[in-house]
Chains A and B, each alone.
Chain A
Amino acid sequence: MTRLRAVGLALLAPLIAVVVSVLVTTAVIAAAGSSPGDFWDAMFSNPLPRIRVNIVNQAAIIYISAVAAAIAFRMNLFNIGLEGQYTIASFAAASFAGAAYLSGFLNVAVAILIAALVGAAWSGIAGILKTTRGVSEVISTIMLNSIAITLVGYLLNRYGVHEGNTVHTTNLEKSSKLTGFTPYEARDGQIWALCLLAVLVGVGFWVLLSKTRFGFDLRASGQSETAALASGVNPKRMVVTAMLLSGGVAGLIWMPALFGAASSYGTSFQAGLGFTGLAVALLGRNRPIGMAFGAVLFAFLTAQSNTLTFSTDISPSIVQITQGIAVLAVVVAYEIVRRWRSRLEQRDVAKELAPVGPGTAGATA
């Protein structure tokens, strides 16, 4: 009975979230004067082959971003700076790889390492500011975002390759471009080789959290800093390490696209992934598998938005609204179910303790 209830409660939250998202989205579309039926038809129509490829690619980079966010979230840190971290890291890696000091696979490997290091260094600033000066990481990372974007713009303007109305870093040499996997015809595009990074990052995150002492410390500090301190964890060190790790993973976000398609940092750089990652981490409850579902959902919705524009008269902004609603619904649903569950547990405890006497039940409160 209790086990059944536990399973039921576990399934209840996602179920509520899905139902609420669908209902609210439908209501929004109806309120905007469009047909919700058209919307769901268009969104869940079978994607074209090239859109399927795009979904896989986008899901991979969104997932890396979500893991970066989740590492910090688990430590109760709100790393809003993912955006700046991956911007500056992507620029650094693209500049290094474009300069072709090394060739072939070695160039790619070192560039990825540089991306991780630069991302980590940038978020490390926020970590150090927090531990030494007590600056909230929310504030410092927002500011570091602006600084990173401006700095990259300045450096790009100054040292980049100017072409037409655009500027970009030197293009990769042919030997550094990675051939991906072509599931359909060539014109439908490739699944980027470095999408594997997303798998590695996901597995790494799971191992780190569940199988290592550090992961345990991280979760413990996130749940209760004082308890962690009492059990011998140095909270300052945890903050800096978590920020460094989060930033390091953030540095990898754009790497699959750089080596798979873009081959330089410039107009084709995809901004905004840092914020998408935060949303997906919330959506996936910071769990490796949950975030994978979230990343695929976000990638799916975004990739289908062109189809939506062409087959209906619904504004593609609805897609972003849908994504926002999904995140809110998940957060709210889990909170509701959590409270509900703790009430039920309290009631059970009270019931079991009741024969002993009301005084004991009161003492537990």
Chain B
Amino acid sequence: MRRLTQLSAVVCVAALALTGCGSDSDGGGNGSKDSASKDICKTAKGDGPKIGLAYDVGGRGDQSFNDSAYAGLEKAVKEFDASCVEGEATDGEAESAREDRLRQMADGGATAVIGVGFAYSDAINKVAPDYPDVNFGVVDGFDPDTEANKNVAYLGFAEEQGSFLVGVAAAEKSKSGTIGFVGGVHNDLIKKFEAGYTAGAKAAKPDVKVLVNYIQESDLKGFGDPAGGKAAAAGQYDKGADVVYHAAGGSGAGVFDAAVEADKLAIGVDSDQYLTATAEQKPHILTSMLKRVDTATYDFIKSVDDGKALTSYQVYDLKADGVGYSKSGGFVDDIASDIDGFKEKIISGEIKVPTKP
């Protein structure tokens, strides 16, 4: 009998401990859910188009890529009296899970379905032919086969052009003549950022030295590893860099921390990261390279609402205001005319920004 009492005690404690852990860890993930109850897809019940938005790994709350897509969605839903559903990729999910997510959205009546991130390219290519009445969009995506899809828009960005401009800013603001670049994962997409950044820096100051580090060679964890971002940036500051640009998604938080500790500057990416930074980090965020995923998302939904859905490749470059740089904090106001000068030259075609380092 005593054994039984002990046993039940163990079970109770285990249950309590597990519940504690569970609700704790869920507290983190649940931060977004609490705001989710206030979010637009829970309340919007308009009779405009129904939109499905499938996020990449990280989902809402990454203060970067996915949040930018959400901003575009929010604007569109309000404007077109639309309704929406959201889905989120989990780390290491099967290709079939992505397809299923898109199909569930289309089956649920969505007329515009957007996959956020190039990882949705294959899934959308496979799903789209089965839903000829639904319009699909894929951010950063491409068509993996030779057969064109009539109902898919590939929303691509000229990241190298935006990166070029922040490269100019970095070079002009650098006192040491050495600047750094921290990439999340060494893939073709992030190499575009590196190429543009280096080209911009060299264009502004031909003798500037650019240090380049990637957090991961291929593991997508490189986009969610603040410790790795911090280590990479701290190493570059130690080697004399005084401005570091990151294209590392969630790992960028570590880059900003390193900038605070070294009392140097950092450059944000995708959205205006000055706005979401902590008070401590703000004085160290020189500018951010803007990748207007929100604009692309909004445009795509608008086109569906207009009945003239975008299809095929859409390029969001400097000309289309799809990329750019931010001025929050006022750190680049004094060199803004220089940067804008380069911007004009890129738009006019006088400067061709490389896409490969």
Q: Chain A: residues with CB nearer than 8 A to chain B?
A: 16, 20, 23-24, 27-28, 31-33, 50-51, 53-54, 57-58, 149-154, 156-157, 162-167, 187, 189, 257, 261-262, 267-268, 270-273, 302-303, 305-307, 309-310, 313, 315-318, 320-321, 325, 328, 332, 336, 340, 343
Q: Does B306 contact A (CB under 8 A)?
A: no
Q: Are A271 and B217 in contact (CB under 8 A)?
A: no
Q: Are B29 and A51 in contact (CB under 8 A)?
A: no
Most central of A166, A262, A271 by chain B CB within 10 Å: A166
Q: Does B347 contact A (CB under 8 A)?
A: no
Q: Are A310 and B216 in contact (CB under 8 A)?
A: no
Chain A hits for B329, CB < 8 A: none
Q: A153-B216, A165-B189, A306-B97 are in contact. List 10 more A-B contacts (CB 8 A).
A: A24-B22, A28-B26, A32-B22, A54-B94, A156-B218, A166-B142, A270-B92, A271-B91, A273-B92, A317-B26
Chain B hits for A267, CB < 8 A: 118-119, 121-122
Q: Are B92 and A157 in contact (CB under 8 A)?
A: no
* Bound-state Cα–Cα, A151 to B26, Å: 34
Nearest 8 interchain pairs by C-beta: A153-B218, A164-B142, A272-B92, A153-B217, A28-B22, A31-B23, A165-B189, A165-B118
Which segment of B13-21, B69-77, B281-289 sits at the interface?
B13-21
Q: How far is the CB of A324 from chain B (nearest CB, A)?
A: 9
One digit per residue, 1 when the CB lies within 8 angstroms of any chain A CB and 0 when it does not, for chain B 138-173 equals 001111100000000010000000000000000000
Question: Would you list which residues of chain B between 97 and 142 have a CB under 8 Å from chain A?
Answer: 97, 100-101, 103-105, 108, 118-119, 121-122, 130, 140-142
Q: Are B18 and A328 in contact (CB under 8 A)?
A: yes
Which segment of B30-38, B204-212, B245-253 sits at the interface?
B30-38
A310 in contact with B218 given A54-B94, A316-B88, A343-B3 (CB within 8 Å)? no
Q: Are B144 and A270 in contact (CB under 8 A)?
A: no
Q: Are B23 and A28 in contact (CB under 8 A)?
A: yes
* Bound-state Cα–Cα, A151 to B218, Å: 9
A58 in contact with B94 given A306-B87, A336-B7 (CB within 8 Å)? yes
Q: Are A268 and B18 in contact (CB under 8 A)?
A: no
Chain A hits for B118, CB < 8 A: 164-166, 267
Of B15, B42, B93, B142, which is within 8 A of A270 by CB?
B93
Q: How far is the CB of B287 from chain A (nearest CB, A)?
A: 24
Of A32, A163, A187, A332, which is within 8 A of B23 by CB?
A32
For B, the interface residue count at a CB cutoff of 8 angstroms equals: 57
Residue pairs across A and B with Cβ atoms less than 8 A apart, 20 shown, are A24-B22, A28-B23, A32-B30, A54-B94, A54-B96, A54-B97, A163-B144, A165-B118, A257-B95, A271-B219, A271-B220, A273-B92, A303-B97, A310-B85, A313-B42, A316-B90, A317-B29, A321-B26, A325-B22, A328-B18
* Bound-state Cα–Cα, A187 to B99, Å: 11
Q: Are B100 and A321 in contact (CB under 8 A)?
A: no
Q: Does B348 contact A (CB under 8 A)?
A: no
Q: Are B217 and A28 in contact (CB under 8 A)?
A: no
* Bound-state Cα–Cα, A156 to B217, Å: 10
Q: Does B186 contact A (CB under 8 A)?
A: yes
Q: Are B26 and A332 in contact (CB under 8 A)?
A: no
Chain B hits for A152, CB < 8 A: 218
Q: Does B262 contact A (CB under 8 A)?
A: no
Q: Does B187 contact A (CB under 8 A)?
A: yes
* Bound-state Cα–Cα, A58 to B218, Å: 23
Q: Are A165 and B187 in contact (CB under 8 A)?
A: yes
